Amino acid sequence: MKSAVIVFPASNCDRDAAVALRDATGNQPVMAWHGDRDLPDVDLIVLPGGFSYGDYLRSGAMAARSPMMETVADRAAKGVRVIGICNGFQILTERGLLPGALLRNAGLEFVCGPVAMRVEAAAARFAPSLTAGEYVTFPIAHHDGNYTAEKDVLDRLEAEGRVAFRYVANPNGSANDIAGVVNEAGNVLGLMPHPERAISQVLGGVDGRRFFEGLVGAMAAA
């Protein structure tokens, strides 16, 4: 199982993501610079959290147009799994690989801390170690996590079972309490909370480890 983490200017969760992937896959992930185009064949790509380009213009806007994102979009179209975490989720929506957009938090404040979420059908399909209806806790740390989309898009996401995680207590005003969604094919996942920060009891929990291990296990079995 080979994986890659895309590093943008001002990514700050790239090394956390690398540790989570290394632990789950047993292999050190490739760290790929956003300005390059070449990426070795990998099974899983993570767009990490951070504040790429200082969140200038719109969060994730500039990163979404970087050369490496051309490659990521090509790979996603070929079925390679892609996970965008926090700023990575913003980059995926800005790129159009996921529907909707992430606006300024409704309460205007940066929100930070562990949040409980209900696992929805799409997350259970993505990482079968998780069961739809159970609750997991990942940390959040964001200013622009207020997920929004046109009503017909939201209705479609719900009807097609493409919501991955839903907040128990909505921290940012996101539509339908959405914390994460998948694309139509189900191989691209974006979520605001940070599973890579929940991979050890020392860090406050292991739900993120379960997520990565279940995902990698399912991919290895496929």
Partner 1 sequence: MMKAKIEITLKNGVLDPQGKAIEGALSGLGFQEASNVRQGKVIEFEIDAVDEAAARDRAEEMCRKLLANPVMENYSIAISA
Residues in touch with partner 1 (CB under 8 A): 57-58, 61-62, 65, 93-94, 99-101, 103-108, 146, 148-150, 173
Q: For the CB of residue 145, give the shortest distance to partner 1 in the complex, in Å.
A: 12
Nearer to partner 1, 134 or 158 (CB): 158
Nearer to partner 1, 99 or 190 (CB): 99
Nearer to partner 1, 3 or 174 (CB): 174
Long-range contacts of 176-182 (CB under 8 A, 24+ apart): 178/147, 179/115, 179/117, 179/147, 180/89, 180/122, 180/123, 181/98, 181/99, 181/100, 181/122, 181/147, 181/157, 182/98, 182/122, 182/125, 182/126
Q: For the CB of residue 157, give the shortest distance to partner 1 in the complex, in Å.
A: 13
Nearer to partner 1, 18 or 69 (CB): 69
Separation of alpha carbons 79 and 44, rounded Å: 10
CA distances from 14 to 34, 63, 119 (A): 12, 14, 24
Q: For the CB of residue 98, give the shortest distance to partner 1 in the complex, in Å.
A: 11
Q: How many residues does the chain have?
A: 222
Write down the catalytic residue from 13, 34, 142, 194: 194
For residue 126, which of 24, 16, 195, 211 has the smallest C-alpha distance?
211
Bridge partners (DSSP) listed for residue 44:
3, 81
Q: For the CB of residue 14, give the shortest distance to partner 1 in the complex, in Å.
A: 24
**Under a CB-based contact definition with an 8 Å cutoff, are residues 86 and 192 in contact?**
yes
Q: For the CB of residue 90, give the shortest distance to partner 1 in the complex, in Å.
A: 10
Q: Is residue 160 annotated as part of the catalytic site, yes or no?
A: no
Write down the catalytic residue from 34, 86, 94, 120: 86
For residue 177, which of 108, 139, 120 has the smallest C-alpha distance?
120
Nearer to partner 1, 136 or 149 (CB): 149
Q: Is residue 196 annotated as part of the catalytic site, yes or no?
A: yes
Residues with catalytic roles: 86, 194, 196
